[in-house]
């Protein structure tokens, strides 16, 4: 799963889309490295979609910093779907 299809109809400029893609990749790497069950084949697609949508949501609320977007998405996944 990629965040790019979810950004197709967004109003973000191309440079900021690159930041969102990098935040998504950073967040997913953190999930994989954590050994979380969310990284398993059974949950991977759903977890990736949750992370992507959370990053987009936070960006729409005004967050622009890559690492804060990534960290927030990982924390949101862990807190909301345990």
Whether pTM > 0.85 for this model: the answer is: yes
Per-residue pLDDT of the chain (82 residues; tens, 9 = 90+): 778 888 877 889 889 999 999 999 999 999 999 989 999 999 999 999 999 999 999 999 999 999 999 999 999 999 997 6
Q: Domain limits of the chain?
A: 13-80
Measured CA to CA, the distance from residue 56 to residue 59 in angstroms comes to 5
Q: What is the DSSP letter of 39?
A: G
Residues 6+ apart with CB under 8 A from 21: 2, 3, 4, 7
């Amino acid at each position: 799963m990629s965040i790019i299809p979810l950004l197709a109809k967004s109003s973000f400029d191309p440079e900021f889309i690159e930041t969102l893609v990098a935040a998504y990749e950073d967040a997913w790497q953190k999930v994989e490295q954590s050994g979380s069950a969310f990284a398993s084949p059974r949950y991977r697609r759903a977890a990736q979609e949750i992370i992507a949508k959370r990053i987009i949501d936070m960006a729409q609320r005004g967050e622009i910093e890559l690492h804060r977007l990534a960290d927030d998405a990982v924390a949101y996944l862990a807190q909301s779907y345990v």
